């Protein structure tokens, strides 16, 4: 292996696949085959490439040394004006990359048979998006990070805008402009940091001490970007729209990976680079997190659209992430990283579950369902598992993330932890209500009479997520061992380690 640039390979393998699909499809033209057949071929090819990317990322996992401090598998090439093309990973980015490479093939499988028009472009968009997502998590240069961070918007914009629901144009614009406005503040901060420190290398900037008053502004600029991405109250309003309008696979990626970039950003940049400002803003972050948890849970309870309900539940669960991060305790930060991974699996699964019935019934109205257990017993069981995981039942990964972030928060502020605990109760209320109204009771909607239970494709997509959720719920140390060094590094400037 030696000097093989594994990170570059993993990052750009999907992009290479996208280019190949495009070239082959353009070169062969429409010789006799209809568009749908050709689209299916593209989807299969895309699946092969994303699966290969997943395997390549497993190689990354194998060559990763758990106990080694600092960044590993670093690659470095000068780009322009002192800015480098530098990639590297630590435990946190490793797991997030694995999450990305796992969810992408799953989303492509889930699209099989459900997305019918323009499958070639659809596949290309997902593969390009995958490259940018992986790039975000392994970029070791601020400007490079920004490039990947922003570039990912375009494919997602197209995915929502082309393959979304009725209000897709509005939702895609809202998604794009919200995120963009936040990011431009971050760009300004990045340019400033680059000017001040003379480098945009993340490893150097982590130990560079910015003056406290400067930190405040820089922190706010980064906050503008990450808070939108995460999303935090009160800039979360783009998320329900984007989720409802996005196709199922788009929602899976959006909730599973894109939201995590916000939490990743806080841990990678805000805490180590602006420790004073982070501490200064701790009360605000706690307040916003608790508001997000409680408020989003209450709003979720009143939703009539299944996807919207899960979208608001995502906002609430991301509140736990920020709560854990800004507790500045090892247990809280570890919990936050865990919660990100766990939420990636659970929310991804929940969107798939909604997608399964949507494909059959073409509605997401909760009221249109009821009594599904009579017709789809396996579906009901899977749904039950992920309902419980989302509520935070012990034995599932959802429990570990919530308990640890709350433990961390408790050490910092009793009130914040108490408020967050309220959110756990609420989450049980809205999830169980959702489950009861869709799955239990008599079959009231005559259209449900002929609904079929989950098929082979559905099982293929959901099984890895089931395994992941339970495995992490039972042996969370798998994650903690890998992320310990990352958490300590995120905290070292604050706790003075």
Chain residues binding another protein by CB under 8 A are 22, 26, 78-81, 118, 121, 143, 146-148, 150-151, 154, 157-158, 161-162, 168-169, 172-173, 176-177, 180-181, 184-185, 187-188, 191-192, 195
Distance from CA of residue 412 to its chain's centroid?
26
For the CB of residue 172, give the shortest distance to another protein in the complex, in Å. Answer: 8
For the CB of residue 25, give the shortest distance to another protein in the complex, in Å. Answer: 8
CB nearer to another protein: give 187 or 287.
187
Nearest of 216, 211, 331, 336 to residue 268 by alpha carbon: 336
For the CB of residue 157, give the shortest distance to another protein in the complex, in Å. Answer: 7
For the CB of residue 269, give the shortest distance to another protein in the complex, in Å. Answer: 17
Nearest of 274, 316, 311 to residue 422 by alpha carbon: 316
For the CB of residue 273, give the shortest distance to another protein in the complex, in Å. Answer: 19
CB nearer to another protein: give 111 or 469.
111
For the CB of residue 5, give the shortest distance to another protein in the complex, in Å. Answer: 16
CB nearer to another protein: give 148 or 328.
148
CB nearer to another protein: give 224 or 255.
224
CB nearer to another protein: give 146 or 312.
146
For the CB of residue 33, give the shortest distance to another protein in the complex, in Å. Answer: 16
Length of the chain counted residue by residue: 497
HEC states along the chain? CCCCCHHHHHHHHHHHHHHHHHHHHHHHCCCCCCHHHHHHHHHHHHHHHHHHHHHHHHHHHHHCCCCCCCCEEEEEEEEECCEEEEEEECHHHHHHHHHHHHHHHHHHHHHCCCCCCCHHHHHHHHHHHHHHHHHHHHECEHHHHHHHHHHCHHHHHHHHHHHCCCCHHHHHHHHHHHHHHHHHHHHHHHHHHHHHHCCCEHHHHCCCCCCHHHHHHHHHHHHHHHHHHCCCCCCCCHHHHHHHHCCHHHHHHHHHHHCHHHHHHHHHHHHHHCHHHHHHCHHHHHHHHHHHHHHHHHHHHCCCEHHHHHHHHHHHHHHHHHHHHCCCCHHHHHHHHHHHHHHHHHHHHHHHHHHHHHHHHCCCEHHHCCCHHHHCHHHHHHHHHHHHHHHCCCCCHHHHHHHHHHHHHHHHCHHHHHHHHHHHHHHHHHHHHHHHHHHCCCCCCHHHHHCCCCCHHHHHHHHHHHHHHHHHHHCCHHHHHHHHHHHHHHHHHHHCC
CB nearer to another protein: give 157 or 328.
157
CB nearer to another protein: give 170 or 301.
170
CB nearer to another protein: give 66 or 181.
181
For the CB of residue 183, give the shortest distance to another protein in the complex, in Å. Answer: 10
For the CB of residue 30, give the shortest distance to another protein in the complex, in Å. Answer: 11
For the CB of residue 120, give the shortest distance to another protein in the complex, in Å. Answer: 9
CB nearer to another protein: give 129 or 409.
129
CB nearer to another protein: give 152 or 370.
152
**Cα–Cα dist 318/312, whole Å:** 10
């Amino acid at each position: 292996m030696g000097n093989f640039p594994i990170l570059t390979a993993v990052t750009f393998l999907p992009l290479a696949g996208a280019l190949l699909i495009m070239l082959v499809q353009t070169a062969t033209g429409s010789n006799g085959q209809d568009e749908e057949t050709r689209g299916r071929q593209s989807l299969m090819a895309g699946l092969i490439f994303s699966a290969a990317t997943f395997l390549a990322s497993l190689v990354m996992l194998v060559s990763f040394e758990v106990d080694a401090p600092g960044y590993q598998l670093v690659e470095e090439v000068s780009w322009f004006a002192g800015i480098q093309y530098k990639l590297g990973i630590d435990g946190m980015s490793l797991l997030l990359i694995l999450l990305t490479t796992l969810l992408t093939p799953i989303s492509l499988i889930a699209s099989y048979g459900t997305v019918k028009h323009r499958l070639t472009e659809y596949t290309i968009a997902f593969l390009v998006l995958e490259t940018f997502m992986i790039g975000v998590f392994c970029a070791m240069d601020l400007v490079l990070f920004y490039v990947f961070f922003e570039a990912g918007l375009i494919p997602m914009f197209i995915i929502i805008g082309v393959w979304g629901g009725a209000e897709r144009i509005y939702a895609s614009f809202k998604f794009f402009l919200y995120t963009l406005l936040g990011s431009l503040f971050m760009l300004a901060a990045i340019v400033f940091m680059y000017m001040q420190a003379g480098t945009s290398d993340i490893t150097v900037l982590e130990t560079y001490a910015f003056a406290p008053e400067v930190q405040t502004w820089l922190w706010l600029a980064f906050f503008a970007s990450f808070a939108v991405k995460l999303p935090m109250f009160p800039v979360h309003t783009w998320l329900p729209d984007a989720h409802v309008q996005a196709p199922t696979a788009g929602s899976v990626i959006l909730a599973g990976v894109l939201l995590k970039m916000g939490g990743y950003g806080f841990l990678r940049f805000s805490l180590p680079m602006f420790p004073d400002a982070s501490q200064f803003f701790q009360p605000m972050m706690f307040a916003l997190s608790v508001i997000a948890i409680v408020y989003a849970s209450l709003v979720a309870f009143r939703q009539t659209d299944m996807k919207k309900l899960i979208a608001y539940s995502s906002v609430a669960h991301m509140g736990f992430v920020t709560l854990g991060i800004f507790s500045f305790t090892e247990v809280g930060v570890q919990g936050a990283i865990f919660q990100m991974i766990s939420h990636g699996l659970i929310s991804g699964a929940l969107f798939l579950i909604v997608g399964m019935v949507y494909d059959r019934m073409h509605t997401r109205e909760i009221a249109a369902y009821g009594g599904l257990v009579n017709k789809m017993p396996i579906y009901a069981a899977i749904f039950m598992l992920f309902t419980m995981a989302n509520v935070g039942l012990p034995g599932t990964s959802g429990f570990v993330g919530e308990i640890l972030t709350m433990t961390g928060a408790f050490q910092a502020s009793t009130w914040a932890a108490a408020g967050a605990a309220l959110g756990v109760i609420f989450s049980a209320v809205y999830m169980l209500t959702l489950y009861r109204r869709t799955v239990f009771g008599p079959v009231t909607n005559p259209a449900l009479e002929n609904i079929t239970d989950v098929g082979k494709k559905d099982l293929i997509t959901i099984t890895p997520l089931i395994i992941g959720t339970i495995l992490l719920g039972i042996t969370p140390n798998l994650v903690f061992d890998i992320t310990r060094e990352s958490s300590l590094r995120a905290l070292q400037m604050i706790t003075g380690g």
